[in-house]
Structures are given as structure tokens and as C-alpha cells.
Amino acid sequence: MVQIERLWEFLQGLSPPTRNNLLTELERLELCGVEIPGSADIQAKLRTEFRKDGPNQNRLANPQRYFFAPLEGLVVDGAPQHDNAGRIPRGSLTPIWEWITRDLLPTMARDFNAQMKDLIAADKRREAKQAAAVFQTKVFKSLENTLASPDGAEQTRAKLATYTAARSAFDDLVKITCVLGARDALAKFDDALPESLLKFDNAVVDRMTMLLDDLAKANAAAVPFAIALIERRLKRPWQLMRLATKAATSKDAADVAATPYAIAVTMVIDRLEDHGAALRIALKHNRVAIARALLADIYDTEYAMQVRIDRFAESAWGIRLRALMEAIAAMVAAEVSRFPEEVGHVLNSRSLHSHDSLAGRLTYLAWKGRDVLTNGATHIKKLIA
């Protein structure tokens, strides 16, 4: 404890942005499974400083929050190291913001921060949003020019490495550039979506596809982000893959992969990988209820993908999913061995595999039957036409 207090005294001598960066890096390393003695206590102190709505948080974070407003709904907690299509890890925002304000446009950023502090203090939210939009446009144009050249891209990658060790930071910057460029189109798309999608039946899928088609005409690169906005409204995120399966000529994996929105299937697996990272943390901190819920969702998603797409196991998706599930199984087995027998039984319970139950098997037969009827009706319509 004495060592932690001494370390905290040292950290107090650092600038607030540097301490905020440190918190982001510690959280990223924890998600990656890196053990750092004393990290939990330091993170708790830093979260108290930066993650509450006190005066310090308002003074430091609001200009940044206004700037990243177009990313709302696209940010995932933590710092995934995989390429999370359509999503941007929260852990990348602070180092990217630091790079923008210190290296990309330091003078403009200083003026923006000063302007925003005055507007926020006066509670002029509309004016603050307008000022943020102007700065977003300036940053987008500068990023577009900087990233267009190999030298500019390489220098940017090297500079970002001084703010974070996350390998995904540069790719996340590219994503942010895309979102800023399609800011208005994505906002219009988001406004056209219902608050929630309790059902994702054929009619709803057709409606979502029409919206995506309209967006893709002028903003093809923004499509994964639009799909992510749909995903966050779904009751069961794995349903997202229906954007691909419904458009396919058959349920064969090769046909599904050839559809315009096949990336939806990849995004479902991305989400499973996020769950795997969250599961690691839950098990590490003995949060059994959270771990059980995550495992149940992981198993349900795995099952849905296997039964909704034919020849799935042989596809690139299936190979990736199998490797992911094997890694999760090994992780659970290693962690469960630390728990009392009754806790381990809960986490290894077959009840988590809902598809093993009678209801699960009936659901499988219903899905397959519905697919046969749907495909048959479609084929008849084509013959009649």
C-alpha cells in the first residue's frame, strides 16, 4: 500500500491529460490479459478523477466529448486489439485526441478548446455543437490530406505510437476519419432508424437494406458504421447477420459471403471477440453472474451462426469462430479451476447451451423449416415472373 501511495504521489505531478492517457493504457492492457501489480488501485483512483461528472471532468473532457459526438453509438468499451468492423474502441479516443491537439492542428485545437470552455461555462449547447462541427470539418480535411500520402500516414503511425502502445490506434484513426467525412449522412441514417428493433423479420430486414442501399450510393465506406447503428438496436445482436443471409441466393456460406452486406456476419464474430475479452475480466475479478451471462450469449450466438448458414464450419467465418471458441473454452477451464466446485458447475452447466434443450432443438427445426418455406416461396415467385 505504501508503494501505491508513493506511485500516486508521483502521478499527481503529471499533467491531467497524461494521467488520463495512463488510465486508458492500463485498461487496454488489462483487457489484453497483461498483469500489472497494483494496477487495480491506480485505475480506481484515476477513474475517480476522470470518470465522474465533477468539475475536473467538465473542465477537461467536454471539448473532447463534443468533438467525438458523431461517434456516439459506434464506440465500444475497452480496447479490443482485433479489427472491430464498424466499431471504435473507447481506449483509442484519448490518445487520438492528444495527437490531434498536440501534433495535427495544435493552434486550431487550442483556439477550439478555449472557445468550448466559454460556451460550456455559459451553457450554450447549440453554439457548442456548431463550434464542434466546424472543428470536426477542419480536422477531417487535414486528416484526409495527411493520410493520403504514404509518408504522412507513416509519420502519423509513428506519432500515435508515442501516445499509446495499442496497435489498432492508426486503424481507429482511419475509421474516425471516415465517420467524420460521412457525419451528416450517418446522422440522417441514424434518425431514420426506430429506437429499438424487437423483431428483425423479413419486412424489417428489407427496410434496413433499403436504408443501407441509399447510404452506400455516396458513402460506401461508411456502411459498416451504419450496420453497427442497426446492431445496437437489436434485441439479439446475432440477428444482424440476416442482412446477409436474406440477400443470399441460398444459405450456403459462399453465397452469403457474396452478398453486399456480408460484413454483418464478420461483425457478429467481432462482437463475440469483444465478449471474450469482457469474459476474461469478469472471471479474473470473480464476477460469476456477469461471466455466466456472457457465456450464455456467446453460446447462443455460436449456435445461431452454425444453424443459419450452411457449410459454415468450412468457411473463413467458421474457422475464425472455431479458433475463438477454443480459446474461450481454454480460458474458462483455466479460470474455473480456481473457483469452488459449485461455482465451476454453474459456469460449465449445460443450461448455458440453450440449444441442447428440447426447446433449443425445436427452435432449430423451426428455423430450418422457415428457411425452406421462404426459399420455396421465393423460387415460385421467380418461376411465375
Average pLDDT, whole number, for the chain? 84
Per-residue pLDDT, 284? 83
The verdict on residue 376 lying in a domain is no
State whether 170 and 241 are in the same domain: no
C-beta of residue 305 within 8 angstroms of C-beta of residue 317: yes
> What does the pLDDT read at residue 366?
44
The pLDDT assigned to 336 comes to 74
Tell me, yes or no, whether 245 and 112 share the same domain. Answer: no
Q: Please indicate, yes or no, whether residues 8 and 139 belong to a single structural domain of this protein.
A: yes
- The answer to whether 136 and 179 have CB atoms below 8 angstroms apart is no
Position 206 confidence tier, pLDDT thresholds 50, 70, 90: very high
pLDDT of residue 372: 44
Averaged pLDDT, 207-227: 97
Residue 94 lies in a domain: yes
DSSP, collapsed to helix, strand or coil, labels residue 234 as: strand
The mean pLDDT of 120-134, rounded to a whole number, is 94
Has residue 369 been placed in a domain?
no
Closest CA to 156 of 168, 141, 170: 170
Which one-letter amino acid corresponds to residue 162? T
Cell reading at 64? 473532447
pLDDT of residue 205: 97
Q: What is the mean pLDDT of residues 126-137?
A: 97
The DSSP annotation for 264-316 comes to: HHHHHHHHHHHHHHHHHHHHHTT-HHHHHHHHHHHHHHHHHHHHHSBT-TTSH
Are residue 249 and residue 144 in the same domain, yes or no? no
Higher model confidence: residue 344 or residue 60? Answer: 344
For 148, counting Cβ atoms within 10 Å of its Cβ (0-12 exposed, 13-18 middle, 19+ buried), the class is exposed
In the predicted structure, residue 86 carries a pLDDT above the cut 50: yes
**Of 59 and 374, the one with more pLDDT:** 374
Per-residue pLDDT band for 21 (boundaries 50, 70, 90) equals confident
Consecutive H or E run containing 84: none
> Across 17-31, 66-80, 259-273, 325-339, which has the greatest mean pLDDT?
259-273
244 and 148 belong to one structural domain: no
| Stretch 357-373: mean pLDDT | 45
Give 134-137's long-range contacts (Cβ < 8 A, gap of 24+): 135/67, 135/108, 135/109, 136/67, 136/70, 136/180, 136/183, 137/180
Residues 6 or more apart in contact with residue 374 via CB below 8 angstroms: 202
Residue 190: per-residue pLDDT: 97
Same-domain pairing of 265 and 329: yes
Q: What is the pLDDT of residue 78?
A: 61
Angle (CA) 14-110-8 rounded to 5° is 10
Each residue of 243-261: pLDDT tens digit? 999 999 999 999 999 999 9
pLDDT at 79: 55
The 10 Å Cβ neighbour count of residue 100 is 22
71 and 144 fall within a common domain: yes
What residues have CB less than 8 Å from 136, skipping those under 6 apart? 67, 70, 180, 183
For residues 1 and 106, which has the higher predicted lDDT (pLDDT)? 106
Q: For residue 34, is pLDDT > 70? A: no
**Are 174 and 251 in the same domain?**
no
At residue 264, the pLDDT reads: 97
Q: Kindly tell me if the per-residue pLDDT of 215 is higher than 60.
A: yes
Q: How many domains does the chain have?
A: 2
Domain boundaries, position 72: 2-181
The Cα–Cα gap between 95 and 347 comes to 37
Gap between the Cα atoms of 17 and 20, Å rounded: 5
Report if residue 177 sits inside a domain.
yes
Max Cα-Cα span within the chain: 81
Average pLDDT over residues 182-198: 96
Look at residue 358 in the predicted model and tell me its pLDDT: 42
Asked whether residue 112 carries a pLDDT value surpassing 80, the answer given is yes
Mean pLDDT of 293-317: 93
User: Would you say residue 123 lies in a domain?
Assistant: yes
